[in-house]
Structure 1
Amino acid sequence: MKLDQIRAFIAVVETGSFRSAAEAIHKTQPSISAAVKTLEAQYEIQLFDRDSYRPTLTTEGKAFFSQSKKLMSQVQQLETLGHNLAQGTDAPLRLCISQSSFSDDAMQMLKHFQSEHPEWSIDITTDHLYGVSENLQKDKSEVAIGPRYGLDDRHAFIELFRIEVITVVSPDLLASLNPKGNRLKPPQLYSTAHILVNNSAINQNESGHRYLLPTGRRWYVNDYFAKKSLLVNGFGWARMPRYMVEAELASGALVPIEIENFMSHNQLPIFMIKLRHQTLSYQANLFWQAMKENALKRMP
């Protein structure tokens, strides 16, 4: 078995014909056919059912294709590592972490990985909402950590942990809204600013926020630090990850509220995300596997 034979076989499967495979990998059609026949003869199996108009994988062919894809992915990762080593330096591990996802769970998992690879450089960028998936699409990072915004069949993702999200306001502002305890009806908040972090995706026309009142004032900021500062000083109300406001809740600077017919409180899943058809670098692949194993250990 040779890598060129495996590449030829994969090309036939992915393009749907021997002719298209030859064009895709710049080989002659007879050489593609010969490569597949050599594989079939070597293992005494039939990879394609040739009775149909287009070559269709047999049961054995489907199993062989699945392992072939894994093999070629590993080969590409090895080639990337070889180039990095030849240059004398390893490229940094490029991560994008959603602004909402810097919880203790995330930091402990990242710290555990870093302790196992202390010699590696890690390049971390932050984004928000759909900006996280856009960061992957633009190849600014290889792996992202964040909520499920903008994810579709182009992405592979694994849940790592969950964060608790609550709705908070300053006690002075709450008192001015005539609440019943800590409960409010939406119209009581229409004249009070709902403070939101901007959607950082360039190609999104809408705000990207899922939890909004149908009407009312809205203020937008660039990060959670500004958002929390405005909340503490009584400029408005907002949903916040609980871990970000624990100190303010303990001191009484912020208080939780419940809004009728509004998602005031929930558990938000945080995912590790990559592009499904992208071959990860050696560093990113190790990170993906390590975080996946860590997440599985944490599951109840």
Structure 2
Amino acid sequence: MKLNQLEMLVHLAETGSVQGVAERMHRTQAAVSMGLKQLEENTGFELFDRSGYRLTLSARGRQFLRQAREVIRQQQRLQSLVQQLQTGAEPQLRIAYDYTCAPSALFPAMHEVQQQYPATELLLSGDSQLRVLRKVSSGEAELALSPWLPIFRQHGDFETIRVRPFELLVVCAPALLAGRNLKQLQRHDLLELPMLIPQNQDVGIDLDSIIRMPSKQRIRVNDSITQRELLLAGMGWGIIPSDLVGDALQRKALQRIDIPGFINNVNLEVHLVRSAERIAGPAEELIWRSFTATS
């Protein structure tokens, strides 16, 4: 049996479909189906239950999956060690950040990496929802900056450090509040204005549940960056992470709305996240220690 066949099995368990495996591994569905068939033939017993519409794991298949995951973890650790023994420092350090978290928190540590490990190329990429954590889990990124809840550990064996609180603010463009007394603003006053709300945030926050009021008009967008642009354009009011609008509030392009009891408390934090299954390189460790010292 081959390592890539074991990876196919793990991805099948996570995605629930051959198509999902093919998309993750950038292969054709025919190649994935053949690889899974060959793996089953090599084991000598049925890995899959084919009685339903979808291909699912049999009881033996689920037991086999646990060991397959461990083999993949060991291979990742070994590859990480080989790379460090060969080069001394990572040729690349990939850092992912959730769009709801401003990556500027990483810049001082990244500057230190530039000074101490100039041969290490830094790759910084933004993504939405839980994809940054999945990148760390799958080995596509070494570090991630993301809102954090303990339930996220179901997506991988993670080690985390607190960076700062994750704060949500109610804001809108000043023009929308023209002629209104901000100190006397009430919840019902916002019913007259469109509400901008991100959909599918997938960070453990259900904004519909924490906003204790309906809204006659809603504009839903699929990421917080678009939500911010709509807020700046005066298209409505919204609840958005403070990281994304701090500069706009300072230059008064947006106005914060403070209504006591308007939203329920959201107790989240921004964490730096890495895999507990890999051996960290020196550049990664430098960034990690920079947050360890301040946490």
TM-score interval for Structure 1 and Structure 2 normalised by the shorter chain: 0.5 to 0.7
Q: Secondary structure at the match of 1:259?
A: coil
- Tell me what 1:126 maps to: 126
Question: In the superposition, relative to structure 1, how do residues 141 and 211 fare at CA in structure 2: closer, same or farther (>3 Å)?
Answer: farther
Note if contact 2:99-2:225 (Cα within 8 Å) is conserved in structure 1: no
1:152 aligns with 2:176: no
Using structure 1 for the length normalisation, give the TM-score.
Answer: 0.57
1:174 aligns with 2:173: no
Question: In the superposition, relative to structure 1, how do residues 151 and 174 fare at CA in structure 2: closer, same or farther (>3 Å)?
Answer: same
Q: Secondary structure at the match of 1:181?
A: helix
Task: Quote the Cα distance in structure 2 between the aligned partners of 1:268 and 1:180.
Answer: 28
1:236 aligns with 2:232: no
Unaligned 5+ segments in structure 2 are 1-74
Task: Quote the Cα distance in structure 2 between the aligned partners of 1:194 and 1:259.
Answer: 15
Q: Secondary structure at the match of 2:177?
A: helix
Number of residue equivalences: 216
Note if contact 1:199-1:207 (Cα within 8 Å) is conserved in structure 2: no
Task: Quote the Cα distance in structure 2 between the aligned partners of 1:273 and 1:156.
Answer: 6
- Tell me what 1:193 maps to: 194
- Tell me what 2:258 maps to: 258
Question: In the superposition, relative to structure 1, how do residues 275 and 199 fare at CA in structure 2: closer, same or farther (>3 Å)?
Answer: farther
1:296 aligns with 2:295: no
Note if contact 1:127-1:200 (Cα within 8 Å) is conserved in structure 2: no
1:279 aligns with 2:278: yes
Question: In the superposition, relative to structure 1, how do residues 212 and 274 fare at CA in structure 2: closer, same or farther (>3 Å)?
Answer: farther
Note if contact 2:195-2:237 (Cα within 8 Å) is conserved in structure 1: yes
The residue type equivalent to 1:291 in the other structure is: I
Pairwise CA distance, 1:120:
0.8
The residue type equivalent to 1:292 in the other structure is: W
The residue type equivalent to 2:218 in the other structure is: R
Question: In the superposition, relative to structure 1, how do residues 268 and 174 fare at CA in structure 2: closer, same or farther (>3 Å)?
Answer: farther
The residue type equivalent to 1:298 in the other structure is: T
Identity of paired residues, percent?
A: 18
Using structure 2 for the length normalisation, give the TM-score.
Answer: 0.58
The residue type equivalent to 1:156 in the other structure is: E
Task: Quote the Cα distance in structure 1 between the aligned partners of 2:103 and 2:210.
Answer: 21
- RMSD over equivalenced CA pairs, Å: 3.8
Unaligned 5+ segments in structure 1 are 1-71
Task: Quote the Cα distance in structure 1 between the aligned partners of 2:213 and 2:135.
Answer: 30
The residue type equivalent to 1:112 in the other structure is: E
Task: Quote the Cα distance in structure 1 between the aligned partners of 2:230 and 2:213.
Answer: 22
Pairwise CA distance, 1:171:
1.8
The residue type equivalent to 1:227 in the other structure is: Q
The residue type equivalent to 1:184 in the other structure is: Q
Q: Secondary structure at the match of 2:293?
A: helix
Note if contact 1:168-1:239 (Cα within 8 Å) is conserved in structure 2: yes
Note if contact 1:147-1:270 (Cα within 8 Å) is conserved in structure 2: yes
Pairwise CA distance, 1:215:
3.0
Q: Secondary structure at the match of 2:183?
A: coil
Larger radius of gyration: 1
Pairwise CA distance, 1:255:
1.0
Note if contact 1:94-1:141 (Cα within 8 Å) is conserved in structure 2: yes
